[in-house]
Amino acid sequence: MIPAGVRIFVCTAPVDMRYGFDRLAQVARERIGQDPVEGGALFIFSGRKATRLKVLWFEGRGLCMLYKRLHQAIFEIPLGEGDAGSVRIDAAGLARLLAGVPREDRRRRVDIGVVGKAVGKA
């Protein structure tokens, strides 16, 4: 369960899944305009094929990362507005994103619970 008040940002452009903690934190600062080390937020990045996803967050003493790979499904990455580097979603949107969808239902980029307007830069 995601605590109340935690902001969840999804990077709308694919990211190289070989990136580790420091490079993903840099991508969050550049594309999303938020520093993960400030805490209070989850940053979600997907690979080009939308079968791999990384979630980055700061837990007080260091960065943490969740890495998920789907075999028979893909992640539905939400659409950004214009050239926005990210969109903000709610906890329900995160649950839907992490669940993925079967490849046959491939829509890839959809509205999954976007909160407010897109943020960051391209």
Residue 24 pLDDT: 98
Given a cut of 80, whether residue 121 has pLDDT beyond it is no
Q: Residues, the chain, total?
A: 122
The mean pLDDT of 84-106, rounded to a whole number, is 89
Tell me the whole-structure pTM to 2 decimals.
0.83
Report yes or no on 30 lying in a domain: yes
Report yes or no on 24 lying in a domain: yes
Query: What one-character DSSP code corresponds to residue 78?
Result: P
The mean pLDDT of 12-21, rounded to a whole number, is 96
Given a cut of 80, whether residue 89 has pLDDT beyond it is yes
If DSSP states are collapsed to H, E and C, what string results for 2-28? CCCCCEEEEECCCCCCCCCHHHHHHHH
Residue 106 pLDDT: 58
Count of CB atoms situated within 10 Å of the CB of 15: 20
DSSP-assigned letters across all residues of 25-53: HHHIIIII---GGG-SEEEEEE-TTSSEE
As for how many domains the chain has, the answer is 1
Domain of residue 54: give its range: 7-105
